[in-house]
Each structure stands twice: as C-alpha cells, then as structure tokens.
Amino acid sequence: MLIFTAPGQGAQTPGFLSPWLELPGLAEQLGAWSELAGRDLIRLGTTGTAEEITDTAVAQPLLVAAALAVAGLIGDEPSSFCPGPQDAAGSEQSKRRRFADAAAGHSVGELAAGAIAGVLSAEDAIKLTRVRGEAMAASCQAVPTGMTAVLGGDEDAVLAAIADAGLTPANINTAGQIVAGGTLEQLAEFAANPPARARLRPLRVAGAFHTKHMAPAVEALAAAAAGTPVKDPAITLLSNLDGAVVTSGTDWVERITRQVAHPVRWDLCMATMARLGVTAFIELLPGGTLTGMAKRALPGIELLAIKTPDQLDAARALLKAHSGTEHNGSLGGTPPLQPPEKDHGLEPKEACS
C-alpha cells in the first residue's frame, strides 16, 4: 500500500521550484494556478526570498500548488490524480491506472491531499488555500502570538505544562515533538518554566496556528468552502483532526475547516498508516519534513522525499511495486485508530501550518 503525503508550512525553501520548471507543461500549469492564488507562484518558488515565502498568505498556496504539480507527474496518467468514484468498482479504466492507495497532508497539505483523493478539483484546492492562507495571516495580526517546539520530555508532563501555561498543543507531530501555540506572553512564561528533560525551540512563524487565535480564519474558510463542489474520496484519505479515514467529501470539508483552529495530530495519521499496512511513503514536493518523522514512527516501510525531478523515476518505481496492494479501509469507513507506543528518540524538523 502506497501513500502520498503533502507537507505543510515550513517545508518551503528559497528556489525549491527552480529545477522543476524545465519539465514540459509545468510552468504553464503553475502559471494558471498563480491566477487563482493571486500570486506569482513561479517567481516566488524560484527567486522569492526566504522572508517572502515565509509569509503565510504566500507559503500556503505555494506548497499546495507544488505538491499537486508533482503528484500529477507520478501516476500512469499525468494530471489525472486518481480513479474517480465511478471507477472504484473495478472498471477497465480503474484497473489500468496506477496511483497512490492513500493520501494525507500535514495542515495546509490536507488541501493537496483532498484534491489528490478526488474530493475537489486542483483548481478549487488552490482557491481554498488562498482564502485559508490570507485569513490565517490576518488572524495573526489581531494579537501577538507565536509557537514553540517542545523536543523530548515525558509527553504527559509536556502536555500538562503546556496547559498550565494557557497554551495549546497546536501540533503533535510524533513522539518527542509537540508544538505549543499561544500569546507571546504565555510563551515567555512557558520558556521560563519548561517541562523537565525537554528542550524548547521558538519557531519563526507569524502566529499561533491551529489554536483558538485562528477562529476568524475558520469562519472565512467555511464561507468559501460552502460553495465548493465536493465528491467522496476515491482513495483512502486521512484527517489531521484525529487520524481517521474520511469517507465523505462533506465530512472532509468540515474537518479541514475546523482543523485551522484545532491541533494537527500527525502522530495519529502515522498510527493509522501503520495500522492500514502502508508499505511505501512518498512525500511530495518539497519533501523532507514528513519523511523525517516517518523514519522513526513507521519502521520498515520504503520512504521517498521528493525534492528534484530526477527522483520521479524512483517515485514511479515505488508506485509500481506498492500501489494496489491488499489493505483495509480504502473506501470503507475505518474508525479512528490509536497511536503506537511512545518512542522519544527522534528529533525531526518541525512543521506548523
């Protein structure tokens, strides 16, 4: 079983799109999506400065567009992400195609995963990402907020300390890595009284994503999503809210909307991957962050973090070897699954929104 994963904010680096623009049709595709995003994604992904692409309103559509562009290059039929629901019963078209068995995205990466799973079009995913990014950027201006990564320590003690400081565990990424979000005053108090055996690392972000401070952005995204046509997922699609497999397009929309102001439970998403029997994990452009987390949480599976076009052949080889394998829950309403036993040995790169 092969899963496509899409990274969230923080994965972007200056110039990461440059080597991809030589591929036929990619620049034209990104140009069209730039109109929908309200930003020149090609310029931002090639010559944009680190400061420019850190802007929440810029980073989010840039990341979703990059992930979708590469996903469309990996399958047997480029630009056709997956068989539509009408093909799921085993038509000749469905049998002929090779594509991922599952999809998941970290935070804003969920918009890319939804399009990959056939819930909404790539164009609508870009449109919603623009609304999401702009609304979250605006929410950051209301109250000075921020985020701090907590590395190591006892998980229960860390969560208790976060709660005592009035903060939110905005990202629970993997064992030994929790990201706390809240006001700058609360974060300063937390830094003065850190949890035992834990190290704190303040993050360079615009605000406290996935906390109550993003409530205005939830309203904006809900209003935009209300007019977006959706279908039920055609492949297994995981949710950041609780790691559950989502089988309804309407439910997916509700989840990605609420999730803007709720913690990202990537740990539970990886637990679900393990329980479903994922054997190969491809992280779409710009890869690295999620693969680093998976190295420890998902031992024994094949991992590929896509960064450059010369990795496309390796991605297609993984797809050929692992897609379409026997697994439970592809379209069948698998309930939320519990995370694996704690393991505090990993210190991966943080991911935020």
Show pLDDT as tens, one digit a residue, over the chain (353 residues): 999 999 999 999 999 999 999 999 999 999 999 999 999 999 999 999 999 999 999 999 999 999 999 999 996 544 455 544 444 434 434 333 468 999 999 999 999 999 999 999 999 999 999 999 999 999 999 899 999 999 999 999 999 999 999 999 999 999 899 999 999 999 999 999 999 999 999 998 889 999 999 999 999 999 999 999 999 999 999 999 999 999 999 999 999 999 999 999 999 999 999 999 999 999 999 999 999 999 999 999 999 999 999 999 999 999 999 998 433 333 233 333 333 333 333 333 455 66
Asked if residue 286 has a cis previous peptide bond (ω within 30° of 0), the answer is yes
Contact in structure between 210 and 181 (CB atoms under 8 Å): yes
Residue among 222, 140, 216, 152 nearest 182 (CA)? 140
The catalytically annotated residue of 107, 139, 323, 330 is: 107
Spatial distance between the Cα atoms of 5 and 272, rounded to a whole number of angstroms: 13
pLDDT at res. 168 = 97
107 given a catalytic annotation: yes
pLDDT at res. 326 = 37
pLDDT at res. 330 = 32
Q: Output the six-digit token pair for 116.
A: 């990959």
Spatial distance between the Cα atoms of 29 and 171, rounded to a whole number of angstroms: 32
Taking residue 48's Cβ as centre, other Cβ atoms within 10 Å add up to 24
Residue among 93, 115, 312 nearest 228 (CA)? 115
Spatial distance between the Cα atoms of 256 and 51, rounded to a whole number of angstroms: 27
pLDDT at res. 324 = 80
pLDDT at res. 350 = 53
Three-state SS at 157: helix
Residue among 347, 217, 350, 230 nearest 295 (CA)? 347
The catalytically annotated residue of 106, 210, 213, 262 is: 210
Q: How far apart are the first and last CA of the chain?
A: 27
Reported pTM: 0.87
pLDDT digits (tens, 9 = 90+) for 185-226: 999 999 999 999 999 999 988 899 999 999 999 999 999 999
Contact in structure between 149 and 200 (CB atoms under 8 Å): yes
CA distances from 300 to 7, 279, 303 (A): 21, 8, 9
213 given a catalytic annotation: no
Sheet holding 145-152, edge to edge: 168-174, 177-183, 145-152, 198-202
